[in-house]
Amino acid sequence: MNSFGRKFRVSIFGESHGIMVGAVIDGCPPGIALSEVDMLPDLARRKSGAKGTTPRKEADEPRIISGVFNGYTTGAPITVVFENSNTRSGDYKNLTVQPRPGHADWVALKKYNGFNDYRGGGHFSGRITLGLVAAGTVAKKIAGNAVFKSDIVELGGTRNKEEFDSVIESALNQHDSVGGIVECTITGCPAGAGEPFFDSVESVISHAVFSVPAVKGVEFGAGFESARLKGSENNDNIIGTDGATETNNAGGINGGITNGNPIVFRVAVKPTPSISLPQDTVNMESGRREGLIIKGKHDACIALRIPVIIEAVAAIAIADLTLLSK
């Protein structure tokens, strides 16, 4: 379903070319200072505008329509909406006949029997993540003293940040796209959040993170590398009665529960499937395989916009765990 959280619950809605997209944020405590202005910095990070991204020419202007009064949260559900103004819907009908490789076109057709709003990806559009980012702003305010920070640590296969620009330049020139890896660090999250099994911190965060389009992998602490370490290398020696450890291969989580050290995880972001290069697909009407050219401008690197969204969903997860562990 389109909601997440047991005590801090976020529901998102909208389609790329519908009237509005947005989120309902339920379970936020009363008395927290909140206005649309608070959401602008994170929304600006999502919008990017950097080389390799193609922001729509829209204001992405959040409007809080419930749950805030006199500048403070009331304790009632907070609803944030974003109008969709810059939508041209003429040229999308094709997607239902020629499903794009790597996109949700085909599964949407199948799951919704052809009734899905296919314009601009409809409810599958990255535009729906506006609601996530808005909810993330609220979540960050209630996630105790936790501080969320995420950044791209690998792009198009290189970990050298000085090469990122040329990787994107090259992808643009080739009419192709590149993926990347985002690392998120959460400091200040108190020990004791999460549960031993089904609601382990890893379970809850990964559930939220895989909600973000284009994410194909998540690892905590040493992650996949820990599978290549010896126990003697991977174990984090405990050096304080407060649970502080010498290393942090556990990524701040033992037995599914936060141990007070920074929570660290990395997220694999696939290259955006929309590319200008000719591709192959099947024609759903004729049943024949045929060539496909996707027109329009595309993000050469969707990963550039992802860090703030990962922060947002991590904050949503931690806010819920924090409120639950009180």
Window 1 to 60, contacts with a copy of itself (CB under 8 A) = 1-4, 6-7, 9-15, 18-22, 24, 26-27, 30-31
Nearer residue to a copy of itself within complex by CB, 40 or 284: 284
Can residue 208 be called a binding residue for a copy of itself (CB under 8 A)?
yes
Closest CB 44 distance from a copy of itself, rounded Å: 22
Can residue 172 be called a binding residue for a copy of itself (CB under 8 A)? no
* 3-state SS, residue 212: coil
Binding status of residue 144 toward a copy of itself by CB under 8 A: no
Task: Report the SS3 class of residue 183.
Answer: strand
Give yes or no for a contact between 146 and 322, defined as CB atoms under 8 angstroms apart: yes
Where are the alpha helices (H) located in 34-124, listed in sequence order?
A: 36-47, 105-111
Q: Does 90 bind a copy of itself (CB under 8 A)?
A: no
Applying CB under 8 A, the span of 40-48, 49-57, 141-149, 178-186 interacting with a copy of itself comes to: 178-186
Query: Residues 281-320 vs a copy of itself: string with x where CB under 8 A?
Result: xx-x--x-x-------------x-----------------
Residue 159 binds a copy of itself, judged by CB under 8 A: no
Minimum distance of a copy of itself from residue 5's CB (angstroms): 9
Task: Return the DSSP state at 245.
Answer: B
Amino acid at 54: T
Nearer residue to a copy of itself within complex by CB, 136 or 180: 180
Q: Closest separation between CB of residue 86 and a copy of itself, Å?
A: 16
Q: Can you tell me which of 168, 171, 309, 315 binds a copy of itself, judged by CB under 8 A?
A: 171
CB of 19 to a copy of itself, least distance (A): 4
26 burial (CB, 10 Å; 0-12 / 13-18 / 19+) is middle
Q: Which residue has the tokens 């050219």?
A: 293
Candidates 42-50, 53-61, 143-151, 219-227: pick the segment binding a copy of itself (CB under 8 A).
Answer: 219-227
| Parallel, antiparallel or unpaired: strands 9-13 and 3-4 | antiparallel
Q: Are 78 and 138 in contact (CB under 8 A)?
A: yes
Q: Which is nearer to a copy of itself, 101 or 144 (CB)?
A: 101
| Sign of the CA dihedral running 297, 217, 141, 139 | positive
As a whole number of angstroms, the distance between CA 162 and CA 183 comes to 17
Residues 256-275 that bind a copy of itself (CB under 8 A): 256-260, 268-275
Pairing label, strands 215-220, 3-4: unpaired
Q: Is 141 in the site for a copy of itself (CB under 8 A)?
A: no
Q: What are the residues whose beta carbons fall under 8 Å from the beta carbon of 112, sequence distance 6 or more?
A: none
Token reading at 147? 């501080």
Instruction: Kindly give the interhelix angle for 306-324 and 201-209, rounded to the nearest 10 degrees.
Output: 140
Q: Which stretch binds a copy of itself (CB under 8 A): 43-51, 52-60, 135-143, 172-180?
A: 172-180
According to CB under 8 A, which residues from 97 to 116 bind a copy of itself? 99, 101-104, 106-108, 110-113, 115-116
